[in-house]
Structure 1
């Protein structure tokens, strides 16, 4: 496999950092994938030992290539082809972002009252 060429977007898709190869290519084109601090294109050849900084929607990654993977495989197999060398502070930052994730549900005591709260409020006001 070492003699074969493998595109960066295909590799990032195969190791499951992106759901589609199109998303991986778009991330490369928009500068969210870097090799040694410099943005790289989707067609860049991946070599063993390369270290990439990848920014996905979910988190930031710093990975080292330890194997070349041509096709997408299940997660338990895919993690054998890279080493996650993300610094601890970036991992903690991602945990904080996930903890403050907005579910779309109104937080208690903020904004308009619910229908039930409105009825309770009306009942309370009419007792006077």
Structure 2
């Protein structure tokens, strides 16, 4: 089965075209080698997928005939993503929240003066 179709079948990507684009951009690797969307996959191969700034690692257990239900996905793949990847994502999320809250708009003159005063103290 093609890699783009497999990733769509195991519900890793919402559409097959999104899976194809991810392969073309180099976000999907088999055994640490970039691949084309038409690459055939087999059992026991390790796939690395970069999605939402996380490097997921999955192992192919079996090839499904069609797209499977969400409850049956674990029959066809094994998630071997290290816990450190999720911890890095959490740290990145918290570091973004540190600067400005979402929806507060542009900094006012007072905010700008405070920022400049803070930078001048260094």
Q: Which has the larger radius of gyration?
A: 1
- The number of residues matched between the two structures is 106
Q: Work out whether residues 10 and 70 of structure 1, in 8 Å CA contact, stay in contact via their aligned partners in 2.
A: no
Q: CA RMSD in A?
A: 2.4
For residue 82 of structure 1, the aligned residue among 69, 77, 80 is: 77
- Point out where structure 2 has 5 or more consecutive residues left out of the alignment: 109-122
- SS state at 1:24 partner: helix
- TM-score, with normalisation over the residues of structure 2? 0.74
Shift of 1:100: 5.7
Question: Could you say if the C-alpha distance between residues 40 and 74 of structure 1 is closer, same or farther in structure 2, counting changes exceeding 3 Å?
Answer: same
Would you identify which runs of 4 or more consecutive aligned residues in structure 1 move more than 4 Å? 98-103
Shift of 1:7: 0.6
Does residue 64 (structure 1) correspond to residue 62 (structure 2)? The answer is no
For residue 21 of structure 2, the aligned residue among 5, 21, 26 is: 26
Structure whose residues are more often helix by fraction: 2
Question: Could you say if the C-alpha distance between residues 31 and 47 of structure 1 is closer, same or farther in structure 2, counting changes exceeding 3 Å?
Answer: same
Partner of 1:41: 36
Shift of 1:99: 4.9
- Point out where structure 1 has 5 or more consecutive residues left out of the alignment: 1-5, 113-128
For residue 111 of structure 1, the aligned residue among 95, 100, 107 is: 107
